[in-house]
Structure 1
Amino acid sequence: MSKEASNRLYRSPLKWAGGKRRIVHRIAALLPKNNTSHLIEPFVGGGSVFLNLNFDNYTLFDSNPDLISLFNTIKSEPEALISQANALFTPLNNQSENYYQIREQFNRTNDSLKRSAMFIYLNRHG
């Protein structure tokens, strides 16, 4: 069964202002029915549209480079990202001091895997 036909929608790992999850079915109704080869999404945000539509290829754009890096990391290193992100989601990191320490680390690192994991953590806790 295609994602469009399912009533169950995939959730983004991010909280995102202007998220399109609630209107994915309306967006899908506006797209051509006979062409599922390529979706170009200029404002990917949390990714609800591409996560819930069945296309052969996706081209995702956004003005936030950390967001695009996150989706590239999900594509290239999903297990490593899950492992790194899981290590951040602990009761100890629910304290404000640790949140600000992780935010400082995020601002200092250029490691895309670490930045992606911290991006998810900061997004969920910010």
Structure 2
Amino acid sequence: MVIQISKETSPRPFLKWAGGKSRLIQQYIPYFPKSYKNYYEPFLGGGAVFFYLQPTTAILTDINAELINTYCCVRDRVDELIALLKEHKIQHNKDYYYSIRNNYSGTDIEKAARLIYLNKTCFNGLYRVNSQGKFNVPLGRYENPNICSEVLLRTASEALKRAEIKQADFTEILNHANSSDDFVFFDPPYHPISDTSYFTAYSQNCFSKKDQEILRDICAELASRDVKVIVCNSDSEFVRNIYRDINFETYKIKAARSINSNIKNRGVVDELLITSFKDFYLPKQ
């Protein structure tokens, strides 16, 4: 029996995140595995794939401590979070934005509300920190930003109750995924395709070529355990070469790029979807 869920009440990302996959889901569907029991997402970000798949068992991780705290608060303390966001909405103006942006104190729930508030009101919904790990995005130009989407937060909270959420480096996936029952979706910071496209500052940690190679080696190890693996990355010679070395399949995906210092380099570009398996789920036409 298939239950139809309306767009308004189905779980969706509650944060706008650079590199988020909401607009690419329809292109990904043919490549998701037919079956699995346990879902893992080590670069959580906006969590679009998790919210679309709605797995019954999931471990969601990210190196960004503020992000993970926010997910935990959405899952466990959504009523308190909504109350704080309503207060932010009432007080929102330019001076208030910068006072909140510069305030790093507070309880876990206050920090979660701060992150969501800044995400909904900052320029382009961009999460970026400087070398000290401090959020430094200016105020966006919004007439009436949707600071507190109560329905969205509550549906996300219900979906997240089925998930274990924790701060962790992506390498820790090797301690969890061990069999063909496991599906791992990797959405790492992309390898740059040009000098102006190098945007990896979601935390103060950069994602280097060496990190990309470590990720590749982890994917190879997971594949040797029969774990189903999907990796997203830029369509670059470097990325193609490192995954060709371990006999993964690569597929082109069309994506809209909106973050680039040169506006001429924004637009539709090719990205790669890289898989360890061919046992795809093929939806009915």
- Structure 1 length normalisation: TM-score? 0.81
**Is 1:115 aligned to residue 111 of structure 2?**
yes
For residues 84 and 71 of structure 2, what CA distance do their matches in structure 1 show? 15
Q: Tell whether the 8 Å contact from 2:17 to 2:46 is kept in structure 1 after alignment.
A: yes
Q: What is the TM-score normalised by the length of structure 2?
A: 0.39
Measured on the aligned residues, the alpha-carbon RMSD in Å equals: 2.1
- Who is 1:20 aligned against? 21
Residue 73 in 1 paired to residue 80 in 2? no
Q: Deviations over 1:48-67 (max 9, x none)?
A: 11111121112112221111
Shift of 1:29: 3.0
State percent identity of aligned pairs.
Answer: 30
C-alpha distance in structure 2 between counterparts of 1:27 and 1:16, whole Å: 18
| Number of residue-to-residue matches in the alignment | 119
Q: Please state whether the residue corresponding to 2:28 is helix, strand or coil.
A: helix
Gaps of 5+ in 1: none
Structure 1 or 2: larger strand share? Answer: 2
Report the CA distance shift for 1:44/1:66 in structure 2 as closer, same or farther (over 3 A). same
Query: Which deviations, in whole Å up to 9, do the C-alpha atoms of 1:61-118 show, x marking residues without a partner?
Result: 222111111111111111111111121112x41x21111111233x122x11000011
Counterpart contact for 1:85–1:121, Cα < 8 Å? yes
Residue 89 of structure 1: SS of its match in structure 2?
A: helix
Counterparts of 2:29 and 2:100 in 1: how far apart (Å)?
38
Q: Which amino acid aligns with 1:76?
A: D
The one-letter amino acid of 2:97's match is Y
Aligned to 2:89: 89
Q: Could you tell me which amino acid in structure 2 is paired with residue 108 of structure 1?
A: S
Deviation, structure 1 residue 125: 1.1
Work out the CA distance in 2 between the residues paired with 1:51 and 1:123: 19
SS of 1:18's equivalent in the other structure is coil
Q: Gaps spanning 5+ residues in structure 2: where?
A: 123-285
* Structure 2 residue aligned with 1:103: 101
Task: Tell me, yes or no, if the aligned pair for 1:44 and 1:62 is still in contact at 8 Å.
Answer: yes
Is the contact made by 1:28 and 1:53 (CA closer than 8 Å) also made in structure 2?
A: no
